[in-house]
Amino acid sequence: MADLVPPSTRGQVDEKVDYSNLPCPVGYDEVSSEAFEALNPGYFKGLSFNYCPAFFDEKFYISSTVVPVALYKLGAYYFNTKLEFTGDVTADTLTVRVKAVITDKLIVWADTQLINGTRLDMKLVSLEYMGLNYRAEFELGSKGLMAATYIQRVTPRLSLGGELFWASVRQKSGVGYAARYETPTMVASAKVVSSGDVLMTYVHKISKKVSLATDFAYNCFSRNVNASVGYDCLSRMSRVQGKIDSNGVVYAILEKKINMGLGGVLSAIVDHKNKDYKLGLSLSYGSPGHPIHDV
pTM of the model: 0.85
Q: Would you state the pLDDT for residue 30? A: 96
- Helix/strand/coil (H/E/C) assignment for every residue in the chain: CHHHCCCCCHHHCCCCCCHHHCCCCCCHHHCCHHHHHHHCCCCCCEEEEEECCEECCCCEEEEEEEECCCEEEEEEEEECCCEEEEEEECCCEEEEEEEEECCCCEEEEEEEEEECCCEEEEEEEEEEEECCCEEEEEEEECCCEEEEEEEEECCCCEEEEEEEEEECCCCEEEEEEEEEEEECCEEEEEEEECCCEEEEEEEEECCCCEEEEEEEEEECCCCCEEEEEEEEEECCCEEEEEEEECCCCEEEEEEEEEECCEEEEEEEEEECCCCEEEEEEEEEECCCCCCCCCC
Q: Would you state the pLDDT for residue 87? A: 93
Q: Would you state the pLDDT for residue 287? A: 59
Mean pLDDT by 10 residues, the chain (295 residues): 46 63 94 96 91 81 85 89 91 91 94 81 87 95 90 96 90 94 97 96 96 98 96 94 97 91 93 94 74 34
Q: Would you state the pLDDT for residue 119? A: 72
The domain defined by 23-285 folds into Porin (2.40.160)
